[in-house]
Amino acid sequence: MSAVEDKRNVMKSGFGVREIDSDQKKGAPLPPFEKPVPEGARLVDLPKPKKEVVTKAHIYDCVNDRKSRRRFTSESLTLDELAYLLWATQGVREVVPGARAYRTVPSAGCRHPFDTYLAVTRVQGLEPGIYRYLAMSHQLALIEAAPDIESRVAAASGSMTWIASAPVVFVWAVTPYRSEWRYAGEAQRLMLLDAGHVCQNLYLAAESIGCGTCAIGAFPQAEIDAMFGLDGKDEFVVYCAPVGKV
Ligand SMILES: Cc1cc2nc3c(=O)[nH]c(=O)nc-3n(C[C@H](O)[C@H](O)[C@H](O)COP(=O)(O)O)c2cc1C
């Protein structure tokens, strides 16, 4: 089998073909629903997601007008707008203790293997820096205050210099074990499918509040992982999306 064929096989379903020899079947404990809150981290309570931030309310218009936006104004986002976008992409809908936490997006087996990191340049009420969304409590944890965040984003964006003009960049990191616990070697394909739903909700939610975004799949893996303090093995970035007013 060629290397390309080998890689293509990752896209194929093995359900009903291969045995799914998962840790769940072996009785291993359920992994946490999200990465634990960093000790001593400064937490920011986010406002509840509000319908009032929506300026384009019809789903038809949001779907029809959605496109990848690579030009943003110099306007900041409000905390209400950011809270709405975080809720739309990873917000928790219902928790079934010891089993699963439903979110605003679907995920295979309700495993939800992502945590959302933010590179914040201009959001009202937030100091510039790196944050992580705590979906279970709808808060942000400040990972690192960084007055130079814009130049750091620019440095990591390669030829896509426009990314650094965004007031906030959403960065989705995966913790593969959350899905592998149930699906073992089937999990990798499912997690990438999950990621698409998250980003599509960002496209549509951004469109509904006069913002725009662009999915970014081409990023320097090691550099971005290091920027967000990820080990690149048990947690690493799979997708990014700058957001700004258009
Ligand atoms: C998985 C994925 C990865 C993408 N990666 C990039 C990227 O790295 N840089 C970029 O400028 N656009 C990227 N895009 C945006 C596509 O170029 C864009 O969706 C496509 O040209 C269609 O345009 P539309 O989104 O306006 O319909 C990506 C889109 C997807 C779905």
Neighbours of 215 (CB within 10 A): 17
Q: How far is the centre of ligand 1, averaged over its atoms, from the C-alpha of 172 (Å)?
A: 16
Q: Calculate mean pLDDT across residues 146-161.
A: 95
- Residue of the nearest CA to atom 23 in ligand 1? 68
Q: Which CATH superfamily is domain 41-245 in?
A: NADH Oxidase (3.40.109.10)
- Band (pLDDT 50/70/90 cuts) for residue 88 is very high
What is the average per-residue pLDDT within 98-104? 97
One-letter amino acid identity for 174? Answer: V
CA atoms of 141 and 41, how far apart (whole Å): 6
Q: How many CB atoms lie within 10 A of CB 196?
A: 12
Q: Rounded to whole angstroms, what are the CA distances from 92 to 50, 100, 102?
A: 15, 10, 6
Q: What distances in angstroms separate CA 142 from CA 83, 124, 145, 208, 234, one per listed residue?
A: 15, 15, 7, 27, 21
What pLDDT band is residue 180 in, cutting at 50, 70 and 90?
Answer: very high
- Per-residue pLDDT tens for 182-214? 999 999 999 999 999 999 999 999 999 999 999
Q: Is the pLDDT of residue 66 over 90?
A: yes
Residues 6+ apart with CB under 8 A from 4: none
Give the C-alpha separation, 140 to 131, whole Å. 6
Residue 217 CB less than 6 A away from ligand 1: yes
The whole-chain average pLDDT of the chain stands at 97
In the chain the first and final C-alpha atoms are separated, in Å, by: 47
Residues 173, 228: Cα–Cα separation, whole Å: 9
pLDDT of residue 96: 97
pLDDT of 135: 98
Q: Is residue 48 pLDDT above 90, yes or no?
A: yes
pLDDT of residue 85: 98
Q: What are phi and psi of 35, to 5 degrees?
A: -65, 135
Structure tokens that stand for 224 in this block: 């971005």
**Mean pLDDT, to the nearest integer, of 18-22?**
89
- Can you tell me the distance from the alpha carbon of 89 to that of 209, in angstroms, rounded to the nearest whole number? 14
- Tell me the C-alpha distance between 221 and 4, whole Å: 20
Whether the predicted pLDDT of 140 surpasses 90: yes
Cβ of 174 closer than 6 Å to ligand 1, yes or no, is no
If you average pLDDT over residues 226-231, what whole number do you get? 97
**Rounded to an integer, what distance in angstroms lies between the CA atom of residue 192 and that of residue 211?**
25
pLDDT for position 17? 84
Task: From 216, 219, 237, give the residue whose CB has the most ligand 1 atoms within 8 Å, as the site to mutate.
Answer: 216
CA distance 178 to 114: 9
Q: Could you tell me the distance, in angstroms and rounded to a whole number, from the CA of residue 68 to the centre of ligand 1? A: 7
CA-derived radius of gyration, the chain: 18
Report pTM: 0.97
Q: What is the pLDDT of residue 175?
A: 98
Using CA atoms, how far apart are residues 124 and 79, in angstroms rounded to an integer?
A: 6
- pLDDT on residue 19: 87
Q: Residue 246 and residue 244: Cα distance in Å, rounded?
A: 6
Q: What is the pLDDT of residue 164?
A: 97
- pLDDT confidence of residue 49: 97
